[in-house]
Amino acid sequence: MSIFVNAETKVIYQGLTGSQGRYYGLLNRDYGTKVVAGTNPKKAGTDVEGIPIFASVAEAVEETGATASCIFIPAPGVRSAVLEAAQGGVDFIVAITEGVPAHDEALFYNQLRKDFPNVQLLGPNCPGIISPGECNIGITAGHIALPGGPVGIVSRSGTLTYQALYELKEKGIGCTTCVGIGGDPVPGTSFIDCLAAFEADPDTKAVMMIGEIGGSAEEEAAEFISNNMTKPISAYVAGVTAPAGKKMGHAGAIVSGGRGTAQAKMEALEAAGVRVGNNPTEAGELMAEIVSQL
């Protein structure tokens, strides 16, 4: 079992005819993901290595029965691509693209909530989602993840997500689903969305969480954990020693006015009963301990 996507999930790639979309779309298909269609209004009727290209998401959904879409469209086109996907009838949208303006994110996040409340958006600016052995949507290297559970992973950072998957694999620990929610100001899917889904998934027995400085998503997650989670959690928060006011790569990773510090986040998580490591390796070791006691 897994959350959000599984072996049956049929996926459309918006931007499959572009270089990034093609590269990762085909890698995802090689992994076993059901990549059933691509979209490009100018190339409708052609195909990418046997994957049919349709003019719109709506057409692709009608022809293939796809329920998910993955967006590899350049940043200026993401706003309309997200809305096209929702209008087209998929219920899970993964937006990989980085560099999307915050105002666009705020707009389509609220538009989806209002007009398409059942559509779940992941990203933008995220590595995607992988249910190891079943489905890989996005840019995660599939082979660094061990299938089978019992751990679910949710992370705000790309490379640290890979690091987490890899460390668990090295210890022989599998993963049900690993969700990279991305570090942008308005992520479509939050820690809480993933924690709730993992709590409800019978095969996920423990959750590993990777946060970073900036915003208050980790603090909100901590509150949710206190009130709603029965499954054990280990966590790591990157940016413990980041100086205030400095932007570190992600739009989200900035500390200002003493709020959003890693220290505050770690304390909030610890107070909620989460076992917090000082670096990714330590968080992995804590998870190994948790798993050994399951």
Torsion angles phi and psi, residue 50, rounded to 5: 90, -10
Give the shortest CB-249-to-other proteins separation in angstroms. Answer: 3
User: Which residues make Cβ contacts (< 8 Å) with residue 253, sequence separation at least 6?
Assistant: 183, 212, 213, 214, 238, 239, 242, 247
Task: Choose the stretch contacting other proteins; rule: CB under 8 A; options: 43-51, 62-70, 221-229, 235-243.
Answer: 235-243
The one among 30, 41, 65, 102 contacting other proteins by CB under 8 A: 102
Number of residues that bind other proteins (CB under 8 A): 60
254 vs 290, beta carbon nearer other proteins: 254
Tokens of 101: 């303006």
Classify the C-alpha dihedral 207-208-210-211 as positive or negative. Answer: positive
The one among 91, 203, 220, 223 contacting other proteins by CB under 8 A: 220
Q: Say how far apart CA 23 and CA 208 lie, in whole Å.
A: 29
For residue 79, the surrounding DSSP H or E stretch is: helix 78-88
Q: Say how far apart CA 109 and CA 162 lie, in whole Å.
A: 26
Q: Give the footprint of other proteins on residues 184-203 (CB under 8 A).
A: 185-186
87 makes contact with other proteins (CB under 8 A): no
The closest of 58, 65, 56 to 10, measured between CA atoms, is 65
261 makes contact with other proteins (CB under 8 A): no
99 vs 273, beta carbon nearer other proteins: 99
Catalytic residue among 22, 250, 265, 275: 250
103 is catalytic: no
Q: For the chain, how big is the Rg over CA atoms in Å?
A: 18
Query: Which residues sit at the interface with other proteins, rule CB under 8 A?
Result: 27, 75-76, 99-103, 106-107, 109-111, 114, 139-141, 143-144, 155-163, 166, 183, 185-186, 210, 212-213, 215-217, 220, 236, 238-243, 246-253, 257, 262, 278-281
